[in-house]
Structure 1
Amino acid sequence: MLTPAFPVDAMRRALAQLADQQIYLGTSSWKYPGWIGQLYDEQRYLYRGKVAMSRFERDCLDEYAQVFKTVCVDAGYYKFPSPQYIESLCAQVPEGFKFGFKVTDEITT
């Protein structure tokens, strides 16, 4: 169940309107367990009465992309993502979703 204090539907509408104007607002990642019950529907990730973190980590990008239209892939900092990894991300989001990739530490150090 989502916490009523977080306005998911209003956020979804506002971000969609901005994206229509080519303005994309997102976050630095999508795998924040603290958002379960706020951005993420806890019921979606429950297994035997507990949040299954493996299920959450596997499936939360799809739910994130229903609200936000862009996200940063911070995993790229440690290792440049493989084509297979990028394809797996793209398969979880709607057409038009934008990814930003953090520059690897090989470049920034």
Structure 2
Amino acid sequence: MVDGSGYGLMCEEGGVPSVIDDDFMVCTDCLMIIANDDTSGLDYSLGEEEAEAREREIREAIAEIQREEGQIAVGDSDRDEEFSSSPCACCGTRLAGGRHHCVILGNNRER
């Protein structure tokens, strides 16, 4: 179903979700898990144990955001930042690097 937001999703309550946060900038590690459920990039730069710990950290952050705020969806790649020193809005890493635009979709419940 196309809902006008460009995301084609429905809320659990059956209504059409709306964008409740349109300025949710995430690091590349978080983006790969949000977009594709892909953690293979973590193995490239981290050892096996470190990659597993980082994956847990990111998945816990995503789960908490989705439980407290709404569904995270990939946003507009034209709004991505090639390099930023701002913390990741998802996992909170302060490592400088790319930040990718995502949105939080929900039913406009109180945040």
- More strand per residue: 1 or 2? 2
- Normalising by the residue count of structure 1, what TM-score does the alignment of the two structures yield? 0.29
- Normalising by the residue count of structure 2, what TM-score does the alignment of the two structures yield? 0.28
- More helix per residue: 1 or 2? 1
* RCO comparison, higher one (Cα < 8 Å, 6+): 2
